[in-house]
A and B are shown apart, each in its own frame.
Chain A
Amino acid sequence: MIKDLVNAASAWIVPLLILGIPLYAYAVKRVRVYESFIEGAKEGFEIGVRIIPYLVAILVAIGMFRASGAMDWLVWILRPAVAWAGFPAEALPSSIMRSLSGSAAFAMSSDIFKLHGPDSFVGRLVSVIQGSTETTFYIMAVYFGSIAVRKTRYTLAASLITDLSGIVAAYIICRLLF
C-alpha cells in the first residue's frame, strides 16, 4: 500500500514541478519562462564534461579494487571486531561497498535477500543500511569535480564517519525493532 502510494507520488512530482514552476513564474511573476529556462540550461553540458576526469579517476580505482577481490581481505580483517559487536558478518561486504559503488552494493544486497530472505533480520538490516548511507566517493567526485576543487580537506573523513554512523545507527535501530 505504502509502496504504491510512494510510487504514484514519485511519478507525479516531476511533471507537476515542470508545469507548476513555469506556470507560476509566467502567470504571477511575469517571467519570460522560455528564455529563462534556456539561459539556465546552457551550463548543463559543460558541467557534465568537467566532471569526467574526476569520475574516471575514482571509478577506475574502485573498479580495480572490486575486480581484485581485495574486499574479501577487508572483510576478513574486520570480521572479528564486527562479530564482537554482534553485527552479522553477511551484511559487512555490502555495507562497505555502499560508499564505493551504489550498483554493486545493491547487487550484493539482492544476493543477501535471495540467500536469507528480505524479511530476515539480516535482510532488513541490509535494507536499512542501504537506505541510510550514500555513494560517498561518487558524490565527492561529481560535486568537487564540477567546480575543479582538488583539495577536499576533511570532506572524505567527515563523509566516511557519516557513513559509518549510518551503519551503526541502522544496526542499533534494527536490533531494537526487529
Chain B
Amino acid sequence: MNIVWLLLVGLAVVTAIFKGTMAEVSNATFSAAGTAVQLAIGLVGGMTLFLGLMRVAHDAGLVQLLARALRPLFRVLFPDVPKDHPALGAIAMNFGANILGLGDAATPMGLKAMQELQSLNEDKESASDAMCMFVALHSSSLQLIPVMVISLRAAAGSQNPSAIIVPTIGATLASMAVAIVASKTLARWQRRRPSGERS
C-alpha cells in the first residue's frame, strides 16, 4: 500500500511537470480530500440504519441461520474463523446484500464483519488471512445483476441494456474463483511470522 500510494502521487507530480497540469493536480488534492470526508459522512446514515437492523436480525437468530447455511463454503474460505463466530454471520449478510446489489446495506455489514474478524486477529495492526480473503473477494464485484451498468446502457439508448447480464455473471464468477485461489496462494507465500519474531 505504501508503494502504491507513493507511485500514484509520484506519477501524478512527474506527469504534471511534463504536461504542465500542476494547477489541476493541486486543485485535485483539496477537492478529493473534501470528497473523501463527504463520502465518509454520507455513509453514516445508511450505516446506522443497517447496523441497527442487523442487530435486530442477530438477536432474532436470523444472521446465525444464514451463516449456518453457508458453513461449508466458509470452512474453505475462512478456516481460521471458529464455526459459530459472529464474524461469519456478518460476512454472510454482506455477501447476501452485495449479491442482491444493495451496496448501501452491504457496506455496514462488511464493516461489522471486519470488526468481528479484528476481534480474532492476533496482531491488531496488520490484516489477518480471513480479512485479506474477505476484502479480495469484493474485487470480483459480488453483485450478480449490475443494475448501475444496465441503467447506464439504457440511458445511452441501448436496444438491449440487459444483454450483458449473463456475461457479467460469468466474468464475476470467474474472478471470484481467481480471488479465492490468489488469496490462498499469497497467504501461503506470506505466512505471518509469530509476533515474537517481528523485528
Contact = CB atoms under 8 A, between A and B. Distances in A.
Interface of A: 2-3, 6-7, 10, 13-14, 17-18, 21-22, 24-25, 28-29, 31, 33, 36-45, 47-49, 51-52, 55-70, 73, 99, 106, 109-110, 113-114, 117-119, 123-124, 127-134, 136, 139-140, 142-144, 146-163, 165-166, 169-170, 173-174, 177
A142 B136 contact: no
Contact of B179 (A36, A52, A148, A158): A158
Given A3-B162, A158-B186, A143 B9 contact: no
Given A14-B102, A67-B24, A114-B156, A146 B182 contact: no
Contacts of A140: 1, 135
Closest 5 A/B residue pairs (Cβ) = A40-B55, A44-B48, A63-B32, A131-B146, A41-B52
B73 interface: no
Contact of A156 (B4, B108, B189): B4
B160 interface: yes
Given A44-B44, A150-B126, A59 B33 contact: yes
Contacts of A117: 156-158
B174 interface: yes
Interface of B: 1, 4-5, 8-9, 11-16, 19, 21, 24-25, 27-29, 31-33, 35-37, 39-41, 43-45, 47-49, 51-62, 100-102, 105, 107-108, 110-111, 114-115, 117-118, 121, 124-127, 131-141, 143, 145-168, 170-172, 174-176, 178-179, 182-183, 186-187, 189-190, 192
Given A40-B58, A157-B186, A166-B139, A146 B114 contact: yes
A48 B49 CA distance: 13
Interface of A is mostly: helix
Given A41-B49, A152-B132, A169-B175, A31 B59 contact: yes
B48 A36 contact: no
Nearest to A102: B148
A164 to B, nearest CB: 8
Contact of B138 (A69, A118, A139, A147): A139
